[in-house]
Amino acid sequence: MSKHHAFPNSLHEAIRYFANRDSALTFLAALRWPNGVSCVACEAKNPSFLKTRRIWKCRDCGRQFSVKLGTIFEDSPIGLEKWLPAVWMLANSKNGISSYELGRALGVTQATAWFMLHRIRLAMQSRSFAKMRGSVEADETFIGGAAKFMHASKRKRVIRGTGGMDKTPVLGILERGRDGKHSRVRAVVVKNVSKRSLHGHVIAAVEKGANLYTDTTQQYGKGKLPKLYQHAMINHAKEYVRGQVHTNSLENFWSLLKRAIKGTYISVDPFHLFRYVDEQVHRFNHRGTNDRGRFVSVLAAIVGKRLTYADLIGANLSPATTQG
């Protein structure tokens, strides 16, 4: 396989380029093995390529493998000529892309497109953030249907109170940009917004001594935060900005997340919410690059992230776990 490959710069170019199965295979192989294809089992170099099956065979251990093996594409009957444009679209659609829209674009069923999108979201997931420092904002939001848009019978069944009750809490922590760099965010679905829970996530994500800005929610008050950080709070009942004290950068991220959920995905099951949060976090943190860069950043994380349909729908979990 040739090491030389052209990187598409737009969705139009990507669709045309990856329509050629050989180009798609060469492209992904070059990204996965920039120093030449190596065996996935013994890492031996220069395996033989079986053209009729479009796979490699190791000359040392005899293992046969494809470029999909050990990636989010593993065991998928969908060809790379459809997978790669799908990655491009999700990585670069500011408000996401629905499974119905992707299904129509690729000529696959809605169920297949839904499974594909969740596999791509797994590659967009990052859990290896460096600790945040400098000026950091922390805030939480609640995701769930608004009572005013529900049928009266459903509203009576699922709404038990006001505010965030019966909605899923999401905690966001944002490091403001400095030295010409964009701000970056971490967001995680949390079981509750207790002081212990929020403080634990903040302490795990933010370096000691950083400037920490939050609202005046009581969970951010007394405790470890004022001792570990230069902690300042803003009372949203009176003001939204006081010098550098605000959480407006996080509010911007929340608006992007909710716009995608309400405008594109419409209704997101709490069981899958973290996947949609990961998707929006990835796009936000890579907004400083171009379409090609965001596309490549997703493909760079496809190895070692396999997602089966049973795992996706929680078939391997106990009822108590899936309901929690």
Tens digit of pLDDT for each residue in 248-267? 999 999 999 999 999 999 98
Is 114 within 8 Å of 99 (Cβ atoms)?
Answer: yes
Residue 50 lies in a domain: no
Are residue 212 and residue 114 in the same domain, yes or no?
Answer: no
Residue 57 lies in a domain: no
Are residue 220 and residue 144 in the same domain, yes or no?
Answer: yes
What average pLDDT score do residues 68-82 get? 96
Instruction: Read off the pLDDT band of 126 (50, 70, 90).
Output: confident
Q: Is 80 exceeded by the pLDDT of residue 148? A: no
Q: Is 80 exceeded by the pLDDT of residue 146? A: no
Residue 290 lies in a domain: yes
Are residue 192 and residue 101 in the same domain, yes or no?
Answer: no
pLDDT for the residue numbered 317: 65
Are residue 291 and residue 237 in the same domain, yes or no?
Answer: no
Q: Angle CA(301)–CA(305)–CA(310) in degrees, nearest 5?
A: 150
Residue 301 lies in a domain: yes
Residue 53 lies in a domain: no
Are residue 147 and residue 230 in the same domain, yes or no?
Answer: yes
Boundary-marking domain end, from 221, 240, 268:
268
Boundary-marking domain end, from 268, 289, 313:
268
Instruction: Read off the pLDDT band of 321 (50, 70, 90).
Output: very low
The DSSP symbol for 187 reads E
Are residue 189 and residue 256 in the same domain, yes or no?
Answer: yes
- We report the CATH number of the domain holding residue 201 as 3.30.420.10
pLDDT for the residue numbered 318: 55
What pTM was computed for the model? Answer: 0.88
Range of the domain at 104: 1-36+68-125+281-324
Are residue 229 and residue 117 in the same domain, yes or no?
Answer: no
Q: What is the mean pLDDT of the chain?
A: 89
Under 8 Å CB-to-CB from 263, ≥6 apart: which residues?
A: 95
What is the C-alpha separation between 150 and 130, in angstroms, rounded?
41
Report the domain count for the chain. 2
Distances (CA, A) of 223 to 28, 171, 233, 274: 49, 18, 14, 28
Residue 60 lies in a domain: no
Are residue 264 and residue 170 in the same domain, yes or no?
Answer: yes
Are residue 141 and residue 246 in the same domain, yes or no?
Answer: yes
Boundary-marking domain end, from 223, 240, 268:
268
Tens digit of pLDDT for each residue in 47-56? 999 999 999 9
Residue 48 lies in a domain: no
Are residue 8 and residue 32 in the same domain, yes or no?
Answer: yes
Are residue 250 and residue 285 in the same domain, yes or no?
Answer: no
Tens digit of pLDDT for each residue in 19-44? 999 999 999 999 999 999 999 999 99
Are residue 264 and residue 140 in the same domain, yes or no?
Answer: yes
pLDDT for the residue numbered 129: 75
Q: Is 60 exceeded by the pLDDT of residue 149? A: no
Residue 51 lies in a domain: no
* Residue written as token pair 């933010």: 206
pLDDT for the residue numbered 50: 97
